[in-house]
Structure 1
């Protein structure tokens, strides 16, 4: 991967469009990103990471604040990166999600994130030539080309020295988290989890099998009544239980057979006794029935006579009913005659010819009136039309007066509408001015409210800077004091290293007659180095805090310059007034369209009202002419209709009255005819009734009617007589049957004794059957349980052995049990990777430390049995001893961290199998090195760029910029470049 150019706009501290040409910077393989704190050095690295992955390293990604706060609203935030990956040149452009002011109205709207990938020089095979525009597709393509995740990229390409210093001194747990992130060992963790889950499943299955064996033992013990065994596979215990169950089954079966035979014999004797008793009972019952029938013979004869008389009276009853109906018909006809005579107001006995003549006269007169009904209906229609015309004319006259009034008031309304339109236009013009002033006042008010906090921050920064100056001065004085004291005791320090026979490093003599003696409180080289490091840290802290105090002071000055002579309370009051005025003007300006429409409507209303008034007046005149003609026609027609109505309201009423009178007379005629017919039928029915009584052999009609019986009584008589005949026939048939022949009704059958004996024998047989059934159930259940128990015993043994083996293996995989090093599978893999990293990092650390230090990887278990495998110490070649990395000085820690970062980058790049990484960034850390050590580090970096790689260094320390620049100038054939950064 080689970077060519980077463009950022409104990104981080960069408000305007900025371009970084990496091709020019990396011409000689080495360049420096330099600038003050906050100048945007790290932001450029963030921009590269954001263009590639849409994310930035560390906590800055969680903040989601990538847009420049001071950028103009119309400027979009974007990052454009052009680079080459695996020989393919491409251009990446991304924009983050951020909040921007709405183009219309107030408030903010979300600007959605965007991403695009454009192929420079032609798209590769299977890729769209127009490029990619979906965020997920761009991300997947970049990750596939680079061959590493975003976390690996941050550790491999952008080497964060602080992070690797933490990694160098971290404990096993923290180191494990970083290595997992880089090498993707989640699959080995999944293997560990698989073993744990498999062991848990097998343990549950084993517990279930053990519980099943225990339950079967308990069930067998419960069924058999024998105490259960605690041993798995106790076959003797189980066989004894099965044999006892079989013996119990056979004995109960023998007893059940004997008692069942006795029960059958008792039941047979009971059946014979029951049959004899039943025959005696039937003989006695038949004799009793015949005696009762003979005693009631007189009553039965009376029932038969009553039934015969009722049958002979049926024709007489029928004739009587016919006569009754004829009489009722005659009475109804007479009532009809009386009713209609009353309604006609005539004598009921009047001659029929006179009645017929009257009905004809009434209908003839009604027919003559039918010709006047159409004229009567037309008269009513014309009268309604005349009333409607009058109402319509009154409404038109009222509407005419309203329109005239509206026309007279139009000039004044048009003037008011024009004034309202001008008012809305003026509000629209004034609104822009008020909005602009409101924005200015709001910004000034925000500035006024920021000043107190900025002032407090300034005072705090000055206090911290002064404390840092004092601390630096004290550290410098301490360093000078120690250097003076060490120089005073340097001879004794050199003498301490002399040995007899070894040459002196100063004069070369092998004899040492008078070595220097140690002075009191002698200063060692380690003391001086520690003091020097403390002085450098104090100086760096002093510079940092002094710069922060200057920035805070500049911030306060800028805020006061922006505020000018304004006061916070005045600005707040003015802002409130401006907001109120803006709301009022906005409301007025928004009504301009409605007010202009209203004005146009009023201006066009004059002609419309004139036309409406003219039309109304024409319609009123036409209605007057039509009313006059209609009134004349009504008056002429009324004279003819008055004679036809007579005393009635309308001609239709009079005609209906005449037709009603004719109808009533005709109904009276029909009623008198029906009455005469009914009287004739009544005479004939009474004659037929007398003839029927004589034919039925009755003395008269009354005697025949007295013999009448209803259906219920006849049914009772028939059923009673039939029951008497059936009982007598049944009794005689029973006595004559072969079953009862020769049976003495006084015989004793002994049924009660036989029943008691059969009951006793049956109960004994049932008890024996129940015992036999229970014995059989117990034998069957024990046989099934025994079979299941033997099967469970057969499965439990191998399951226990399998679980023991799986449990031991799971413990080993997870760093427990027989795993002496307490290393899990995942830690073992990470330890192998860390060993590779230690080997790769040692090559660079030995070069940068002039062969003094080497990394040593250890896989020993930690203290108190904690997991091991990820230990990382340092071998000091001067002393020949291995010591913890935490004991390294500041500069030594930097060298170790840088070596570790470079080594880890090489191993990760080889592990991922991704693209060749031609560009590398190293962020900070060089300020702790002396000149000689810096030369060694630069030699190592020269090795990195010897194969065509580009290395970018990041620093904000001015002294470091000068020292690295001198170093680059000395290497004339490899002269580097410097990029000065500033966002001011």
Structure 2
């Protein structure tokens, strides 16, 4: 895979379109990618990864592995500019162009607001024959599958072997076996081996669960056997736990003992039941005989008591019979008594009605007869007919009065309407001028608001720039002070280093003498004799002190570089803010902005009333027309109303003369007619009541005569005596029922006392029922107990037999399950590294990864030897770790100077860097081979060079330079200033307030 060209737009820190020409960078074989912190060096690598895999590297992924598209867009980008990444590369002999746009928002083409654009991808291929590009796909899924097949590696593998993250490999060197296993597992895809471990563990858990479930079921059956057997067994249920191999035999043996005991108990219960049945039958016969004797004795005694009570009630019986005979004679007089009572009630009512009617008549008519009163009634009715003819005239006069009142009301309403219309129309010209002036004022305010809006936004921008200018001026002074301090510290550190170096060189002889060994040749002169070795003088400087001073000097120089970048950035921002702010102060601009804001707000408020003012004028004009029309209608109604009133007055004058004659001294004709009608009604009622009184008097005398005759024929001296002997039907039926009950009771008692068996039983001693009942209940209880004991014994035996069969079935089913569990458990323990057969406690996945790690260590050693001048060798170790940890993924470094091996976690900072670099390069080779041997012509190495001394840095660069063999390109991402002098081809990323930019610097010093 070789990268040719990368173009990014509105991506990360890049606001505008930036292009990276990898062909120009790759011409030198090795190039440097550098820039200030936060400028966007890593964003260049992110763009490459995003173009290939539609996602950024894992360290910058969100939780769940999904990239949040909103975080890819540059905050500096202008609205309407699409975020886009275009990558041109050659892979597997094919030249491809990948373009990706994440989901993003843009301003709506119509109206206001924003809309969301979906993510898009394009894949094109260069056709050498036609010398043009041809489209392949626009599907995210198809493009992802095509690139994945061509590269032969996942995104995680690509980020490890192409974008070499040195920090990850430094942690890899210091990590334990578990952490190394996770990284190697992602790169070499050993999930199938981990899946084997998981599957075997799952099978083991499932088999163990089946065995445990079977044992628990068997224990449950055993517990139910113990419940069914009940207490009394000499040998208790054996206490066993699930998983105990002796559980099954113990349960089967105990079940056989329980069944034998239950059979013996069943035989004993059958014998006890037979004896209880014969005793219960005898007790039952005795109880029945005593109950019959007690019944007969009680029956005869009840007959005696009833006969005595009956004789005591005989006088009442005789009295009821006499009363009933007298009541039946009085029934013959009852109709005459009823007629006498009805006639008397009617006569009393007629007398009362006559008295009330006469009380309402005049005094001269109170003693008049019915005929006289009827003649007066007829005269009143004739006069009432004459009065009714005048009622129509009275109704018409009332209608005329109401109509005149309505005319008066309408006249008052029209007068008010005419007065209101006159007042409103008098002010119409003034009101119309006010509405027109309001519309003109609102239109002028709208024009003024537009002018002020054009002045307000520049004023606000100038105010923001002035505030930023004042703030940046202080920051610029502070950054200048920090830069001066950093330069002073750098000069002091460099002087200290040069002084220590000079002093060390002066005392180098003593330093070399300290390394002399008696009998061994001197490294300088070669002599084995050392007669007068030089001795260290006062203030002797060793190499460690010089190295520490050199490191401090380099740190101080790096601090100066950072301070220069910070100061330049602040100065640039300050110059931009000062230019935008002009010469005005913040206070002046605040005053201007506030004044313009107030004026704009007031003008906008007035302009907002334009529509309302026009609507108000339209409403006023419509009201003017309505009032003119209403005034003309009112004037027409006034003229018509005057003529109508004159006609009504003439008609009502003629009607009033007729009504005076018809009222007869009353207030109205109706009142006079009502008075005549009331008099006629009173005379009619009085005549009727007099006639009713005379009629009822005759009927009362006739009923008295008939009643006296009926009482005499029935045998009563007076009607009053007959009335006293009367009884109602219910009372007579009650006496009859009482007499019948007494006679029926007398017959029943006589039959009862005549029974021979009851009379004989009464002569015998009293029955002993309580004693017989107690004997029977005791026998019955004993029978129930024996029957229940036999049923319990029978059920216990059947339940024990059924549960024993169930236990045998469970034991037969457990055998194969236990065998399968032991086989799977041995395999699972072996692959998981927990079995005693696995001496190194190494998991299956770790075993496979150990082989890969051994290949990586061998590939890394080839470059590590050159970087360390033949001193270090990286080897894989499968020794067991302490503390019970698993083994198989250990890494040791062998020091050729001492011949000892030590853990990679003990390496120093510089050693850790070039060892991790060698490991990363070795891992890239192995992963490439694992992925199918796809050629990687472009590599990136991220940071870590600052921890190397000059000699080691030269050796590392030699190794990286060797990667250029066969036309390979290596990009180094670093802040180290010394690399800028050593690597002439550079891609510099520069940041600013308007976004970052990239520039190409070549060996000739030109920019691209």
Both proteins in one fold, TM over 0.5: yes
Equivalent position to 2:187, from 182, 190, 195: 182
- Residue in 2 that maps onto 1:815: 833
Equivalent position to 1:870, from 889, 894, 900: 889
Conserved 8 A contact 1:831-1:859: yes
- Residue in 1 that maps onto 2:85: 79
Gap change, CA 1:546 and 1:513, over 3 Å in 2: closer
Is residue 2:125 matched to residue 1:115?
Answer: no
Q: Report the alpha carbon displacement of residue 117 of structure 1 after superposing the two structures with TM.
A: 0.9
- Residue in 1 that maps onto 2:631: 617
CA distance in 2 between partners of 1:580 and 1:101 (Å): 32
CA distance in 2 between partners of 1:659 and 1:634 (Å): 33
Q: Report the alpha carbon displacement of residue 284 of structure 1 after superposing the two structures with TM.
A: 3.0
- Residue in 2 that maps onto 1:644: 659
Gap change, CA 1:715 and 1:246, over 3 Å in 2: farther
Higher alpha-carbon deviation: 426-435 or 410-419: 410-419
Matches within 5 A, 1:292-311: 292-311=309-328
- Residue in 1 that maps onto 2:957: 934
Matches within 5 A, 1:527-926: 538=552, 540-558=554-572, 560-561=574-575, 581=595, 584-585=598-599, 587-601=601-615, 608=622, 610-642=624-656, 643-644=658-659, 646=663, 700-710=718-728, 713-735=731-753, 740=758, 743-745=761-763, 748-766=766-784, 768=786, 809-818=827-836, 819-842=838-861, 855-874=874-893, 882-885=901-904, 894-909=913-928, 911=930, 919-924=938-943
Matches within 5 A, 1:404-443: 404-405=426-427, 407-408=429-430, 410-411=432-433, 414-415=436-437, 418-419=440-441, 422-423=444-445, 425-443=447-465
Is residue 2:267 matched to residue 1:250?
Answer: yes
CA distance in 2 between partners of 1:785 and 1:957 (Å): 84
Conserved 8 A contact 1:98-1:112: yes
Gap change, CA 1:688 and 1:129, over 3 Å in 2: farther
SS of the residue corresponding to residue 869 of structure 1 reads coil
Is residue 2:183 matched to residue 1:165?
Answer: no
- Residue in 2 that maps onto 1:7: 7
Deviations 1:29-60 (A, max 9, x none): 76554556655433211222344455444665
CA distance in 2 between partners of 1:424 and 1:866 (Å): 81
Matches within 5 A, 1:115-154: 115-120=119-124, 132=138, 148-154=153-159
CA distance in 2 between partners of 1:451 and 1:378 (Å): 101
Deviations 1:282-311 (A, max 9, x none): 233234434443453342132233334445
Q: Report the alpha carbon displacement of residue 409 of structure 1 after superposing the two structures with TM.
A: 5.0
Q: Report the alpha carbon displacement of residue 547 of structure 1 after superposing the two structures with TM.
A: 1.0
Gap change, CA 1:382 and 1:89, over 3 Å in 2: farther
Gap change, CA 1:961 and 1:395, over 3 Å in 2: same
SS of the residue corresponding to residue 99 of structure 2 reads strand
Is residue 2:278 matched to residue 1:261?
Answer: yes
CA distance in 1 between partners of 2:376 and 2:957 (Å): 157
Higher alpha-carbon deviation: 374-383 or 333-342: 333-342
Deviations 1:507-559 (A, max 9, x none): 9xxxx98688895689xxxx999889867755653442111111232344345
Conserved 8 A contact 2:29-2:970: yes
Is residue 2:415 matched to residue 1:401?
Answer: no
Unaligned 5+ runs, structure 1: 968-975
CA distance in 2 between partners of 1:177 and 1:954 (Å): 26
Is residue 2:287 matched to residue 1:270?
Answer: yes
Conserved 8 A contact 1:5-1:81: yes
Q: Report the alpha carbon displacement of residue 596 of structure 1 after superposing the two structures with TM.
A: 1.8
CA distance in 2 between partners of 1:885 and 1:230 (Å): 55
Q: Report the alpha carbon displacement of residue 268 of structure 1 after superposing the two structures with TM.
A: 0.9
| Cα root mean square deviation, aligned | 5.3
Gap change, CA 1:666 and 1:194, over 3 Å in 2: farther
Q: Report the alpha carbon displacement of residue 407 of structure 1 after superposing the two structures with TM.
A: 4.4
Higher alpha-carbon deviation: 206-215 or 750-759: 206-215
- Residue in 2 that maps onto 1:91: 98
- Residue in 1 that maps onto 2:997: none
Q: Report the alpha carbon displacement of residue 583 of structure 1 after superposing the two structures with TM.
A: 5.7
Gap change, CA 1:932 and 1:431, over 3 Å in 2: closer
Conserved 8 A contact 2:98-2:121: yes
Conserved 8 A contact 2:476-2:571: no
CA distance in 2 between partners of 1:252 and 1:434 (Å): 114
Gap change, CA 1:3 and 1:290, over 3 Å in 2: same
- Residue in 1 that maps onto 2:231: 223
SS of the residue corresponding to residue 11 of structure 2 reads coil
Higher alpha-carbon deviation: 744-753 or 192-201: 192-201
Gap change, CA 1:691 and 1:17, over 3 Å in 2: farther
Conserved 8 A contact 1:50-1:94: no
CA distance in 1 between partners of 2:667 and 2:934 (Å): 117
CA distance in 1 between partners of 2:848 and 2:675 (Å): 124
CA distance in 2 between partners of 1:485 and 1:112 (Å): 73
CA distance in 1 between partners of 2:566 and 2:670 (Å): 113
Deviations 1:903-929 (A, max 9, x none): 333444555679875543333456745
CA distance in 2 between partners of 1:773 and 1:881 (Å): 87
CA distance in 1 between partners of 2:72 and 2:503 (Å): 49
Deviations 1:841-892 (A, max 9, x none): 4555567778776542222221333222211234567877655445667776
Query: TM-score when scaled to structure 2?
Result: 0.78
Equivalent position to 1:386, from 369, 390, 408: 408
Question: How many residues are paired up?
Answer: 950
Deviations 1:442-473 (A, max 9, x none): 34324544665666566556556654554455
Q: Report the alpha carbon displacement of residue 789 of structure 1 after superposing the two structures with TM.
A: 6.1
- Residue in 2 that maps onto 1:973: none
Higher alpha-carbon deviation: 761-770 or 7-16: 761-770
CA distance in 1 between partners of 2:778 and 2:53 (Å): 99
Conserved 8 A contact 2:54-2:100: no
Deviations 1:100-140 (A, max 9, x none): 999999xxx998685211243699xxxx9896588x99878
CA distance in 1 between partners of 2:77 and 2:180 (Å): 41
Deviations 1:566-599 (A, max 9, x none): 99xx977667656755664454344344422344
CA distance in 2 between partners of 1:859 and 1:706 (Å): 136
SS of the residue corresponding to residue 79 of structure 1 reads strand
Gap change, CA 1:613 and 1:282, over 3 Å in 2: closer
Gap change, CA 1:962 and 1:742, over 3 Å in 2: closer
Conserved 8 A contact 2:4-2:21: yes
Unaligned 5+ runs, structure 2: 63-67, 128-133, 241-246, 987-999
Gap change, CA 1:613 and 1:910, over 3 Å in 2: same
CA distance in 1 between partners of 2:456 and 2:847 (Å): 71
